[in-house]
Structure 1
Amino acid sequence: MRRVLMVNYYFPPLGGIGSLRALKFATYLPEFGWEPTVLAPRDGAYYRDPSLAFPEERVVRTRSFELSRLGKRALAAGGTDTEPAVVGPLLGRAREMVRRWIYRPDAQVGWYPFAVSAGRRALRARRFDAIVSSSFPITAHLVARRLQRSAGLPWVAEFRDPWTDHLEPRDPRRRRDEPLERAIVAEADAVVVPSNDWADLFRRKGAREVAVITNGYDSADIPARHPPNGFVVTHVGSLYPDRQDLSAVWPALAALRGSPGMEGLRLRFVGDLGPAVRREIETHGLGSLLEVTGFLPYRDALAQMAASSVLLVAGARDPRPLLKGMIPAKVFEYLGTGLPVIYVGDPATDVAALLAGQPRCHRVPPGDVEAARSALRAASTEVPGERALGAFTRRELTGRLAAVLAGLAG
């Protein structure tokens, strides 16, 4: 069996999509002839998810110097690994300067020396055939690049999201980081991204080989459907008002409230809900129907998802090019439940194309209240059922990563 060293800052017990994706790759790679060893921090600065676990004997844990924790301690203004410190204008400007000029390339750069040292020891102790790193953080790629230069192994760099393209054109960080981004992309033997549009983006940046490996789902993770008491409209995960817009849904729900099929209407957010979106919802008289769970471990979030009537996807609110390739990871678990799905966003995106090929999936352009009303009416009458999702199982997707590794390792 061949061996691969996976460089992942986000890995269980840390939570989040990046951690889950790495966990699933590490779990299924042995089925395709690859034995993974994961290089990860011992005490990373992020929330813990007790529902995610991996055998510790296959993980190399390292120290990490967490700059974000140090900064919050210096500011003496509270904050946690997932919440910023509350500061005034002066300290706020100081914090922004630190983020802009000291967190280079990111706040996890304090992991770099420990990860490189531990990675070198691991490479000396056993024979490896390839290295895979995943960002964010970009620091993981810097670690992998240093190890690759020492060991001469094939290196796959995964970008779960674009890097410098998220920054405004005039942002000095963009001009500063673009040369490093292009160097990483050019030096990696292959680049992995989760969508077709972002694959084109990284080809333009000079990637030699680009593989598209979407996020996915595990049927074993999806709990049995539990029909809710009433009509429950659920959104899972974070909502980003600067690039997503569900505002068409609120007046549509208000107009349909109490109509046949909509009895016992509830609007559930699994995760946090920002004050601006909450005000939008309350403006339409839906405040009394609102449920906000706050953060939940992965498996508890899936249980809330399965106990719903219809699931909401917030897509791109406008045709900005970068947003075309954004496929929310939860979409695949949504599809796996068999429940109706309503997508609100730009119809010319990768996620809209994905949903167009699946039954019981409705697409609503941003701001189109009538289309949202029609989608909700249709969803209220639909019976959940299986979908053809073989291409999006975690096992199948891991097989694609294994094929990339095999092609490079020879």
Structure 2
Amino acid sequence: MPVSGSRRFLRAPVASKNLLMVCYYFPPLTDVGCKRSVAFATYLKKEGWSPYALSVKNPDRHYCSLGTDAPPDGVPAVYTRSLVNPIKFLGKANGLVDRVLSLFNRGVSRNYFYEFLCIPDFFVGWVPLTVVRAVKLIRAHNIETVYVSCSPFSAALIGVACRRLTGRRLVLDFRDPFGLTLEGSKASRTKERIDAFFARLFLKHTDLLIVTTDETRREYAAQFPQFKEKVVTVHNGFDATHLVTDQPEKFHRFTIIYTGQFYYKFNPSLNMYADNFFSALAQLKKENRICSETFQFLFYGSEQGAIRDYAARFGVEDLVTVNGRVSHAEVLLAMRRSHLQLLRIMKLMLSTKLFEGIPMNIPFLATIPPGEAEEIIRRYSPGSYVITEDSAEKIKGAIVDAMDRYAKGPLPDNHVEEFMDCFSREALTQKLMGHLTPDIS
């Protein structure tokens, strides 16, 4: 069970594999951001390491889901308070400004309170007390390496402070890209400069930066060439303990499922892919190829309003089933009962849904830009449909083809065993171990 922030760990014996893991997202939080760090802690412990977790005691409920999960067995966890969680307050302040400006037929296009008061992000209030506790843990347990999981990227400030105060080795793990200038970004130029400044600061003081895609590694090497030797890839993956052999009965209606963040209004290409998907549904409905009795688009996530708006705009409300966030186990079951999984990604990101869908033998309808995700799907998921062009017609054709093929039998199986050899959490932890302390035999 979690250890209270006011209690001390028993002093650990001197060991070369003592590791401090600074992770905002950690049990009892249940968000997908926890999965990577929890798996690393679990398998590091299995391999004889002594990981100590440091997480947040009062997480921001607007961005986090609090559950009852405990840390991995044998992994002590300590929790520190965030001095302020500003998201709700600054959101209301921005709303007030917008209402005032509306009196003059004006409005605000973005929340400048977020951009200029939350630097580098909303979670900076967690930094001060966590630095103090981290330094105490490092000295009490003879910790040689500090691992920091980001996002939130303000956690990297904790790592840098620990590096400067204790001289211990620092490894930053960026689950998402940060500080890169990317085509189509919705951030302001000023915000991009601020993020780039912090990215340069983090790269200067870290011993190693881990990213989750080779595309991201190459982009950091291009934009920060002086630090390119510090950047390595450890992909996301899937925990073999979640593998199942039994296949539940499929939904009686042909079901395309999407779970999690929909990434709407992020940039023009993502909007295009979303418009094309709903346009394809509208065309199929108009041609009487699908109806509410034979088809559903099943959504789980927090952006329920956006999905309903898309459905209404394209006249397919009767084809769309919208749900809020549910437990990870419920999501996995719904995925396995579905016929296709819609995949949408932002450039340089490999969605967790990709690494869950392949080992669970679910084919994708992937409306994605060309790149690493496309390569992985084509290699390991022969029954999937990958559409990289601006084409509602091709999405429509893929849905029709999948329905016709399913009427004759299941689609080809994914190459699960080959995939797990490369992307199981245990295999990826082995790769991580080589980066944490390269001098350990």
Q: TM-score, normalised by structure 2?
A: 0.80
Q: Assess if the C-alpha contact under 8 Å between 1:231 and 1:263 holds in 2.
A: no
CA distance, structure 2, for counterparts of residue 104 and residue 282 of structure 1: 37
What are the Cα deviations for residues 333-388 of structure 1, in whole angstroms up to 9, with x where unaligned? 01122122111122x22211111112212111343133213322333324363523
Partner of 1:266: 296
Q: Equivalents in 1 of 2:149, 2:241: separation in Å? A: 25
The residue that corresponds to 2:20 in the other structure is 5
Distance 1:196 1:51, change over 3 A: farther
Name the aligned partner's letter for residue 253 of structure 2: G
- Matched with 1:295 is 325
1:9-158 superposed matches below 5 A: 9-45=24-60, 46-50=63-67, 52-55=69-72, 58-68=76-86, 71=89, 88-90=98-100, 96-158=111-173
Superposed CA offset, 1:23-52 (max 9, x none) = 111111123332211111111114324374
Other-structure match for 1:176:
194
Which secondary structure does the structure 2 equivalent of 1:296 belong to? coil
- Partner of 1:232: helix, strand, or coil? strand
2:283 is equivalent to residue 252 of structure 1: no
Structure-1 residue corresponding to 2:179 = 164
User: Judging changes above 3 Å, is the alpha-carbon distance between structure 1 residues 233 and 172 closer, same or farther for their aligned structure 2 residues?
Assistant: same
SS in 2 for 1:158: strand
How many residues are treated as equivalent by the alignment?
394
Offset of residue 289 of structure 1 = 1.9
Where does residue 313 of structure 1 map in the other structure?
343
* Structure 1, gaps ≥5 residues long: 78-83, 317-322
TM superposition shift of 1:249: 2.8
Deviation of residue 67 (structure 1)?
3.4
- Deviation of the 1:256 alpha carbon: 4.5
Secondary structure of the corresponding residue to residue 161 of structure 1: coil
Q: Flag the 1:99–1:253 CA change in 2: closer, same or farther, 3 A.
A: closer
- Give distance in 2, aligned partners of 1:69 and 1:280: 26
CA distance in 1, matches of 2:284, 2:111: 45
- 1:351 matched to 2:373: yes
Return 5+ residue gaps in structure 2 as ranges: 1-14, 102-106
- In structure 1, how many angstroms separate the alpha carbons of the residues matched to 2:166 and 2:330? 42
- Once residues 82 and 189 of structure 2 are traced to their aligned partners in structure 1, the CA distance between those partners, rounded to angstroms, is 28
Report if the CA contact (8 A) 1:41-1:63 is conserved: yes
- Report the RMSD for the aligned CA atoms in angstroms: 3.0
Amino acid at match of 1:47: C
Q: How far apart are 1:331 and its partner, in Å?
A: 0.8
| Residue aligning to 2:7 | none
Q: Which amino acid aligns with 2:230?
A: E
Q: Quick one: structure 1 residues 252 and 393, their matched pair in 2 at CA, closer, same or farther if it must change by over 3 Å?
A: same
Q: Which position in structure 1 is the counterpart of 2:334?
A: 304
In the other structure, the counterpart of 1:80 is none
Give the secondary structure class of the aligned counterpart of 1:67: coil
Contact kept, 8 Å, 2:43 with 2:429, in 1: the verdict is yes
Overall identity of the aligned pairs, in %: 25
Residue 221 of structure 1: which of 242, 258, 262 is its match? 242
Cα distance, 1:233 vs structure 2: 0.9
CA contact (8 A) 1:5 1:36 kept: yes
Aligned to 2:432: 401
CA separation in 2, counterparts of 1:267 and 1:393?
29
